[in-house]
Homo-oligomer: A and B are copies of this chain.
Amino acid sequence: MVTLAEVAQHAGVSASTVSYVLSGKRSISAATRQRVERSIRELGYHPNAGARALAGKRSNIVALMVPLRTDMYVPVMMEIAIAVATTARAHGYDVLLLTGEEGPDAVRRVTGSGLADAMILMDVQLEDERLPLLLGTGQPSVLIGLPADTAGLTCVDLDWSATGALCVEHLAGLGHRDIAVIGEAPAVYERHTGFAERTLDGVRSRARETGVRVLHRPCEGGYDALALTLARIFDERPGTTGFVVQNESAVEPLLALLRQQGRAVPEDVSVVAICPDQVAVQASVRLTSVAIPAPEMGRQAVERLVAKLDGRGGDEVVLLTPELTVRASSGPAPAAP
């Protein structure tokens, strides 16, 4: 293993000079710099991470806490994680992967040990048990997702309320008066996951404004569960002509069942999905959808975090504006029978 001292000797300079060449924290003559850089290359030197962290008091690592559960749309999580890792690297940080399993303890451990300089939390609940701790330690952090109380926190999220509203607006604008929302699994609502509840809020308030009726049903996803849910919906509201789907694993079953029941999309019923674009275009009917901008969420989270670590920028809530793309699954409401 090559050390900084060896590089210094090889280049005929002092250790501190090598250190400063590396960090750029003081000016070095061109000649010296080149000699040092050459030695570094020739010896294949890599600074020791542990020594750096110890002396420099920063590990250049950010921790990313991902949920353990997989009852929500997993590819979105993965996309966020990959975007976080990629963006972090671009800023010179590595990413430590923590699962929700350890819960709040992980926050303590990582903070206390100086393993990471900062944390990004995914899948934040409205009342999240990790938050008091995070506020207590004063650890720089960014949440992906919005808790109920954002005081003193930096959060990045899609504006789910606006997303819900946008879906309703689109359908209402097409003349639909009876809309059903097929949501995430019941458990998601039970643990008060912000995005799910906020979407619903947005849906409902815009529904009120536009005078359309809304029926919300959580759904486990898969064919059997959806068949039941759909039956209940048409039973209760036979005049339903618009659907908002916020559950990846319900999208395809919904389209299949509607087809099976002889309800044409978009002639008889319209469907708007909240999902990544890739899902929307790969479905059996190209779906009108509001995209979940997963990579942008990951990127933004890291940018904010780096800003905090650099002493720039403080707490803030970043809400990404939803965008609806009209595709083949939505059209004018059929004339009333």
The secondary structure that dominates the A interface is helix
A100 nearest CB neighbor, chain B only: B82
Let me know if A169 is at the binding interface, CB within 8 A.
no
Interface contact A1-B114, CB-CB below 8 Å: yes
**A284, B48: Cα distance in complex, Å:** 54
Contacts of A47 in B (CB 8 A): 113
Q: Which residues of B contact A95 (CB under 8 A)?
A: 96-97
Closest Cβ neighbor of A257 among chain B residues: B284
- A86 touching B99 by the CB < 8 A rule? yes
* A5 at the B interface (CB under 8 A): no
Q: Mark A45-75, 1 if CB is under 8 A from B, else 0.
A: 1111111111000010100101010100011
Q: How large is the interface on A (under 10, 10 to 19, 20 to 34, 35 or more residues)?
A: 35 or more
Choose the segment among A186-194, A248-256, A307-315, A329-337 that binds chain B (4+ C-beta atoms closer than 8 Å). Answer: A248-256
Stretch at the interface among A16-24, A101-109, A139-147: A101-109
Q: Are B68 and A86 in contact (CB under 8 A)?
A: yes
A153 within 8 A of B: no
Assess the B223–A282 pair: CB atoms within 8 A. yes
Assess whether B66 is in contact with A82, with CB atoms less than 8 Å apart. Answer: yes
Are B68 and A82 closer than 8 Å at their CB atoms?
Answer: yes
Name the B residues within 8 Å of A98 (CB-CB). 85, 94
Question: Are A94 and B96 in contact, CB atoms less than 8 angstroms apart?
Answer: yes
- Is A96 touching B97 in the complex (CB atoms < 8 A)? yes
Question: With A54-B54, A82-B66, A82-B68 in contact, is A49–B113 under 8 Å at CB?
Answer: yes
Question: Would you call A253 and B48 a contact (CB within 8 A)?
Answer: no
Q: Inside 8 A of A249's CB, which chain B residues have their CB?
A: 282
Partner of A223, one of B46, B253, B283: B283
In the complex, residue of chain B having the shortest beta-carbon distance to the beta carbon of A249: B282
8 CB < 8 A contacts A-B: A45-B112, A50-B54, A64-B97, A70-B78, A75-B75, A89-B102, A223-B283, A252-B256
Extra inter-chain contacts (12) besides given A46-B112, A51-B54, CB under 8 Å:
A44-B112, A45-B112, A50-B51, A61-B96, A66-B82, A74-B74, A74-B75, A81-B81, A89-B101, A94-B97, A222-B282, A223-B284
Going nearest first, the 10 A-B pairs with the smallest beta carbon separation are: A46-B112, A50-B53, A222-B282, A50-B54, A49-B115, A97-B97, A49-B113, A74-B75, A95-B97, A46-B113
